Amino acid sequence: MSHHHKLIIIGSGPAGFTAALYAGRANLSPIVFEGIQPGGQLTITTEVDNYPGFAKGIMGPELMEIFREQAHRFGAQSIYKNITKVDFRQRPFKLWADDEAYTADAVIVSTGASAKWLNAKGEEYYKGYGVSACATCDGFFFRGLEVIVVGGGDTAIEEATFLSKLLQK
């Protein structure tokens, strides 16, 4: 037996909850699969200073709870399971959370991103206190300091280029 919904949203970060908010307001009764990290990457972010409306900043988990509450106020529902399989070959679309089946007329995939960490000594302890995975988000805090960018490929180069302009004394 499967559970049928008008709209299923996979992912519960800012994009997922924004989609849920608008879909709820359109009477689509969206279901948000929050997955393994409810609230997305912002739940592991300390101070969020680059989001409009919070002149003094806001903690990442607090911001995501506000997103969730607002989406739920307009009829979105959260399911705290991970989608493990999808079949988008025909309608209704089929999705599974482990062995539980769901179908939907429409699906929004907003699974976001996740940082690749080094698992170096002290890294976990200093996350949000000098160790960051987002130059755009946190670079401002390092103005006037020497920084090290670790990574490979385009992402590391883009972060280093951004920081080189931002951190100039």
Q: Which residues are catalytic?
A: 134, 137-138
What is the spatial distance between Cα 144 and Cα 155, in angstroms, rounded to a whole number? 22
What separation in angstroms does the CA of 11 have from each of 33, 143, 159?
Answer: 6, 33, 25
Whether the ω angle into residue 92 lies within 30 degrees of 0, i.e. cis, is: yes
Determine which helix (DSSP H) or strand (DSSP E) holds 86, and give its type and residue range: strand 85-87
Beta bridge partners of 94: 87, 103
The three-state secondary structure class of 166 is: helix
